[in-house]
Each structure stands twice: as C-alpha cells, then as structure tokens.
Amino acid sequence: MSAIESSSTALGASESQVEIAAHARTLGIEPALLEQARARLEFLYAEVAKSWPGFIARAGQYQMMHAALLTFLSAKAPDDASRQGNNLAQLEAGTGTGKTVAYCLAAIVASGLLHKTVVVSTATVALQEQLFHKDLPLLASIIPGLRFDILKGRGRYLCESRLQGALSDDAQDSLLEGEFQESFFDNSNPIGISRDSAEAMRWFKNVAKNLHSGKWDGDIDNLEQAPDPQDWRQVQASAHACNAGKCEYFKSCAFFRARRQASTATLQVANHALILATLQTESTLIDPGNTLFVFDEAHHLPAIAADQFSYRARLGTSVKLLTSLRTVALRHSRDLPSSTRPDPVSFAQSISECTDKLTILEDYWSQASLVSPDKPVHRFPQGQIPPALVAECEQLASIIGSISAEVATVASALMQTDESKSPKERDERVRAGVELGVYLSRLDTLIRLFESWATHDKVPWAKWTEYVADSSGSQGGTGSTGTNVFAGTSKPDFWLCSSPLTAAQILARGLWKSVSAAVCTSATLTACGSFDFLDRLSGLNRFPQRRALVVSSPFDYASQGELRIAAMTHSPKSAGFSEELCQKLPGLLREHEHGQLVLFTSRRQMAACYAALPRDLIAEVQMQGECSRTQLLKEHVRRIERGERSIIFGLQSFGEGIDLPGLLCEHVLIDKLPFTPPNSPVEEALAEWLSTQGRDPFAEISVPRAAMKLAQWAGRGVRTVTDHAVITVCDTRLATTRYGQEILAGLPPFPVVRPAL
C-alpha cells in the first residue's frame, strides 16, 4: 500500500477488489448493507447541506465521509481474530475540509445499522468543547433522535464520601495529603510555600454548600475557579476508593450521574487519555469490541499513549507511605472478622521487608552519586539497571502486590454495611475504606514501576532517576494542625521513572486489536508526504489492510498565499543566528498591517527578539505567558477590529488549535525548523536504541516530527477559502538541505519564494 492513496474510482462503480485503493475497498461488507448505508448517508448529507449555516459542498469532505463509512461497515466482532486492518483508517483532512461533519455522519449511519455506540475522542479540551457545545447540537437539530453526551475521567468529578472525610478532618484523611500525594505527582506548590489548611477547609465547606444547594454539579470543569491541585486530589473520585452502589452517596454521585446520562447517548465525546486509561483497566465504561471510534487530532495519540503507560514515584516518600499504611490498615481492621483482618505480625513484616528494600535502593542512589543538584537526571543506557537491583525490583513488585491484596481485602470489608454499628461508625468505616482505596492506587503504581524496572525486553523501556533536592517541609505536606508532617527530614529524595520508548506495541495490542472499528483523522497525519512516521509510532503498520487517504483541501494555496524562506546569512546552527533574527524581525513584521503570529522554538529566543524590538512594535506585541491564552486572543481581536496591527509572540502550543481567520492572521512567521533535540530521557533512549539497530534517529524521528509540527504551524495562516496569508520561515535549511526539501514536500502547497543564495 502506498503511503498516500488517491481514489479515482467512483464509489458506486463496479469495483475490482485488487485494483482499487485500499481506502475504498468493500471486501467483506454485505452488498445490501452497503447499499442501505450509502443511501442513508446521502440523505443525511443532503439534509446537512440544506440546514447547516454557510455549508459549502467540498469534494474532500465527501470522499472522506465515504471512506469513513467503509471503515465502520468493516467493523469486527469482539471475538473476530481476523484483523488485517480494513476496520482501521488514517484519513488526513486539512483545515476547511469539514472533517467533523464527514466522520460524524458516517459514524451515525453505521451506528444505526450495526447497533454500535460511537465514541469521538479528541486530544484537546478545545476541540472536545467545540464538538459538544457547537457541532453536535447543530447536527442534532438536523438529525431527529440523535443523542450525544460527553465522557470525562473519574478524576474530573468530586467524591462526596471523600469530601465528607475532608470536612471531618479525620486523621486518616491527612495521611494522603502533602508529601504522600507528591510521591506520585510533580510538586504543584512553589518551593517553600506550605499549604494553608484553614484555607483548604474553607474551600471544602464552600464546594459542599454549592453542591448541596444545586449551584454546582460536582464537575471540576464547571467550577468558577480552578481549585488548588492538592485540595482537589483529596476529594476527587477514584476507582480504587469507590464503593459504587454500596455508597450512601451513590444516587447523587456526580460521576455515576454523568455515566448514567452518557450511557443512553448514541454518540459520546471523550479524550485520548480517558480512552487509553479505560482500556488499561477492567473498566466497563467503554466496550471497545462494540464501539465505533473516531480519534480526531490523532497525531497526538502516540505521545499520549506513551505518557499514559509511564510510571514514576518518589523513593523516600514511598517508604513513608508504606510505613503509614501499616498503621492505618492495622488500626482500621481491628474490629473486622478474622477472615478479612491481616495478621498484624506478618503484615508488619511484609511492610518492613518492603521498606528495607526501598531503603537499599535509596542508599544505592546516594552512594553511587548518579544524580545530584548538578546532575539532576541519570538515564540507564539501553534501559539496563545494575544487575544487583533487578532482583530487588522483582521482589519489591511481588511484596507490594501481596501488601496490596491484603489492603484491598480490608478496604472492601470496611465498605460493607454493618448494621450492628451506629450510623456515625458506619460512616467512619466507609471513609476509612475509601482512603485505603487511594493508597491502593499508589501501590498499583509502585507495582507497575518495579515490574518495568525488573524487565528488559528486546525493545527496552527508558528507565531513569531524578534528584529531589529536599524532601523536608518545603515539598512536604501538613497535617490537620497545619504543622509539617515530615519536619526535620532533609535527606535528598529520588524519583524513579520508566516509560516505553514508543507506544506502538501498546496501541497495537491494547487498542487496534480490540476495537470494533476506528478512524484516525487530523489535519496532519502525514510527515514529509508519508504516513510512515505515524504508522511506526502508533503500531498501525502491523495491520497491512489499514485504509489510508489524504483528501484534497478546499483551499487554493496557489492564490491564497505564499511561503517565504527568509534570506538569512546565518543558519540556526551558527552563533550569529539569534542576533541576525533580532535585527531582521522588525522589518519582516512591518511588511504586514494587520494580525500576525510569530512562533518560536524556544522561550529564550522569543524573549531575546521581544527585547530587541523598537518601542513602537513592542506596543503592538502580546507575548505568550503575559496573560491567559483566552485574554490574549480577545485583545488580539479587539485590536484588529480597531484597525490596528496586532502581533502575537508564541511558543509551540500556539502553533496548534489557534483559529485566526481573515485579517486576524495575515502573516505567520516561524523562527526556525521546529526540531526537538532528544533532551528528555525517553527521547534519548529511543535515539540510542535506533542507533544500536543501525538506524538513523534523526531521519526516522527528528525530521518527520519537525515536518508534522511545521505543517501545523504553517496551517495557522489560511483558515477559510477567502483568507490570504504569507508564511515566513527564517531557516534557510528548508531550501539548502535534503531533509529540508523532504519537509517542504509535506507542507501545504503554497508557492515558495526562496532566498537568493
């Protein structure tokens, strides 16, 4: 199968299954079903064309819609082991194609005929909200009976039982604050600033009041102001801390209320992280074998999956976590039947054995001096930790697994209704069980972390440790009195971390082999004119009959803009590049009178260019970080509407998801090709492994990744069929190097103005 396939055969014509492009193959689809589906799709498309405000028929949209329909009609049953990939598709559709209408209509038709649920998954909150609040309501007004809803992770909702525990300020509640929380999360508070327990209590009381009065529904996204992360973690819903139908708050639970409502919807809007997290567990939220998936912004899927299956924990504070767990578990199990109560001696011995081994690891890092304030990160080459530590990690995973099993038994028993207890005692037992459930989630992370550290596969995992300068009060927590739980300890701590090099194998086994059907789409799925990069990172290359298609854009790039390669004397690799860019930038900006977006590959370069601007231009520039993204964009629009020039200086996050049509963006300037050097442990490990295989990490990873990113950035210029924009790239490597030519081939086909060399 070629990387990019076009369809010259009419969809209704007589087909030779060998000759036509893979994305248009109908092999395996019942002819009667196909005819019925196409007729229904044409009818709905005509209805949308009549009723959708400003609708313009687009050839690319129509082609994508039918390719998506064939993919969904090729859906596999859960027990179907024959999975060559005709139920999987990569459909690239540039801005303006109308891909949301295309994939939604195809999915709605297939869902009705196959009796399957549709899940549309996005990578960003912005697109999720656009679908839920704008596109789908409009579709529902056109298509009678269309029901849709939104799916969010459990952690986006409040747990009333945990809230009551926080309000009661029970001793066990404070054990999972502060440093214990930070054992598994990067510290969110500024160093040296302790959490204000009185302020936290005021927040708990306020949200409880709003919840009970109906002013708030328990969804974090519907709060007027984002809460302190520590406060939210103390009361957020957690699978490990959930008693489901046995909980006294089950009927009013925000999470289960949202789930019950979403379960009746034909089309559900979710996000990539939630889908992957759900498939990683035994959750019944999504039945992949009976679900039609659309992964919009699918170019983010490999990175999100790799992050989802990464593990990290702080070593020293994990010792304290286990030590406190011994006290908590034994205290709350005293009154339980002997069958559910751990033997105090053996349980304490297991905890001690575990903490002893963790201390061995802790001492090893200290004595080996692998990390320090001067060298905060140490990565193990080829993912191979010292042989002496492999056995320790294996034993730790096993011991923690045994501890976890006993704690799970205690937690389950505590959450059983005991009529012999008073209501107050029953409430206290349930809250204790809930909090033990939170401990269980931490234990699960430790198990997975040490299992990965003890394993060395053919394709290794990245394994590394990070130095934590001070594990005392500056990064610790406070107990119910507001004093520091771990005051007086100033011993350095260490993060232990592991991550797969890529998510290809995880996605192939855990997602693509289990879904009924899936369409992956984005404005940029290809890199350098090929699907190869996404294929490798996503594991889709393991399915030979996968469908792949790039649909034509509705934009006439030849007349709607041009791509200029600035005449720079210096290459970004030379020392004089930054100074030259600072000198030339004012002249490049003055050539345009309205909205401009300047994208930088580093914050340092952005700050240098801003500082070097003449005073009049500085007044016209808004720089990312000075205010919120929403405020910045609103001010940008106001300035353009007043007829002023307005310039946005932004970093990578402003190169995607920003929609500035017309005069809001007539010029996109990019400082240099957006290469990301392998400076993270995972990127370094991947480059290292590719090199050992005789492969070129620059050609396989760096170039296509930069190409995909540059295509996104260049796409900020033309957003509608009436836009006209200039794209300026201040990097002559785009014209002078072989890889630059490869990158150029994957950009929107603007006329290219090359520098005089």
- Summarize pLDDT for 477-509 with one digit per residue, the tens: 333 333 333 334 456 788 999 999 999 999 999
Q: Is the pLDDT of residue 175 over 50?
A: no
Query: pLDDT value at position 470?
Result: 58
Residue of 288, 267, 254 whose CA lies nearest to 149 = 267
Identify whether residues 80 and 144 lie together within a single domain: yes
Query: pLDDT value at position 490?
Result: 56
For the question of whether the overall pTM of this predicted structure is more than 0.85, the answer is yes
115: left (phi over 0), alpha (psi -120 to 50) or beta: left
- Domain membership of residue 5 (yes or no) is no
Q: Is the pLDDT of residue 17 over 70?
A: no
How would residue 188 be classed by pLDDT, with cut points 50, 70 and 90? very low
Q: Is the pLDDT of residue 726 over 80?
A: yes
Residue of 503, 519, 523 whose CA lies nearest to 656 = 523
Identify whether residues 610 and 685 lie together within a single domain: yes
Q: Which amino acid is at 603?
A: R
* Non-local CB neighbours of 39 within 8 Å, separated by 6+ positions: none
> Mind spelling out the 3-state secondary structure of 670-735?
ECCCCCCCCCCHHHHHHHHHHHHCCCCHHHHHHHHHHHHHHHHHHCCCCCCCCCCEEEEECCCHHH
How would residue 184 be classed by pLDDT, with cut points 50, 70 and 90? low
CATH (domain of 139)? 3.40.50.300
- Domain membership of residue 71 (yes or no) is yes
- Domain membership of residue 163 (yes or no) is yes
Query: pLDDT value at position 464?
Result: 95
How would residue 468 be classed by pLDDT, with cut points 50, 70 and 90? confident
Query: pLDDT value at position 757?
Result: 56
pLDDT, tens only, 420-453: 777 777 778 877 887 788 888 889 999 999 999 9
Per DSSP bridges, beta strands 595-599 and 291-296 are unpaired
Q: What is the mean pLDDT of residues 61-76?
A: 97
Identify whether residues 185 and 273 lie together within a single domain: no
Identify whether residues 607 and 722 lie together within a single domain: yes
- Residue 703 Cα distances to 90, 568, 683, 689, angstroms: 21, 21, 14, 17
Identify whether residues 422 and 511 lie together within a single domain: no
- Domain membership of residue 707 (yes or no) is yes
User: For the purposes of burial, counting CB atoms within 10 Å of the CB of 151, is it exposed (0-12), middle (13-18) or buried (19 or more)?
Assistant: buried
Q: Which amino acid is at 524?
A: T
Per DSSP bridges, beta strands 493-500 and 461-468 are antiparallel
Which helix (H) or strand (E) is 212 found in, with range? helix 197-213
How many residues are there in the chain? 757
Query: pLDDT value at position 602?
Result: 93
Q: Which amino acid is at 62?
A: Y
DSSP annotation of 662: G
| Dihedral of the alpha carbons of 61, 65, 68, 74, in degrees to the nearest 10 | -160
Which one of 477, 498, 519 terminates a domain?
Answer: 498
Q: What is the mean pLDDT of residues 51-63?
A: 92
Residue of 294, 290, 277 whose CA lies nearest to 79 = 290
Number of domains in the chain: 3
Which of these ranges, 48-62, 183-197, 290-304, has the smallest mean pLDDT? Answer: 183-197
CB 711 within 8 A of CB 747: yes
Identify whether residues 179 and 318 lie together within a single domain: yes
Query: pLDDT value at position 485?
Result: 35
Q: Is the pLDDT of residue 473 over 60?
A: no
Which helix (H) or strand (E) is 563 found in, with range? strand 561-565
The separation between CA 374 and the C-alpha centre of its own chain, rounded to angstroms, equals 31
Q: Is the pLDDT of residue 298 over 60?
A: yes
Query: pLDDT value at position 19?
Result: 56
- Domain membership of residue 15 (yes or no) is no
Query: pLDDT value at position 195?
Result: 60
Which helix (H) or strand (E) is 22 found in, with range? none
Identify whether residues 342 and 223 lie together within a single domain: yes
In angstroms, the CA 741 to CA 529 distance is: 11
In degrees rounded to 5, what are phi and psi of residue 226?
-60, 135
Query: pLDDT value at position 365?
Result: 82
| Dihedral of the alpha carbons of 119, 123, 127, 132, in degrees to the nearest 10 | 30
CA-based max dimension of the chain: 89
CB 440 within 8 A of CB 143: no
pLDDT, tens only, 678-716: 778 999 999 999 999 999 999 999 999 999 999 999 999
In degrees rounded to 5, what are phi and psi of residue 483?
-85, 160
Residues 461, 464, 465: CA angle, nearest 5 degrees: 155
Residue of 610, 613, 645, 639 whose CA lies nearest to 624 = 610
Identify whether residues 614 and 714 lie together within a single domain: yes
pLDDT, tens only, 530-557: 999 999 999 999 999 999 999 988 999 9
CB 549 within 8 A of CB 23: yes
CB 120 within 8 A of CB 296: yes
Considering only residues 69 and 152, tell me which one the structure prediction assigns the higher pLDDT. Answer: 69
Q: What is the mean pLDDT of residues 313-335?
A: 87
Q: What is the mean pLDDT of residues 386-395?
A: 91
In degrees rounded to 5, what are phi and psi of residue 556?
-95, 85
DSSP annotation of 300: G
Max mean pLDDT among 177-186, 356-365, 654-663 falls in 654-663
pLDDT, tens only, 70-109: 999 999 998 888 899 999 999 999 888 999 999 999 999 9
Query: pLDDT value at position 658?
Result: 87
Considering only residues 173 and 755, tell me which one the structure prediction assigns the higher pLDDT. Answer: 755
- Domain membership of residue 189 (yes or no) is yes
Q: Which residue has the tokens 């299992």?
A: 451
Per DSSP bridges, beta strands 752-753 and 561-565 are parallel
How many Å is the Cα radius of gyration of the chain?
28
Identify whether residues 680 and 535 lie together within a single domain: no
In angstroms, the CA 685 to CA 680 distance is: 8
Query: pLDDT value at position 482?
Result: 33
How would residue 12 be classed by pLDDT, with cut points 50, 70 and 90? very low
Orientation angle between helical segments 59-73 and 31-51, nearest 10 degrees: 140
- Domain membership of residue 325 (yes or no) is yes
- Domain membership of residue 320 (yes or no) is yes
The parent domain of residue 375 ranges over 158-227+314-498
- Helix, strand, or coil (residue 446): helix
- Number of Cβ within a 10 Å radius of residue 431: 23
Identify whether residues 494 and 511 lie together within a single domain: no
Identify whether residues 537 and 579 lie together within a single domain: no
Identify whether residues 575 and 689 lie together within a single domain: yes
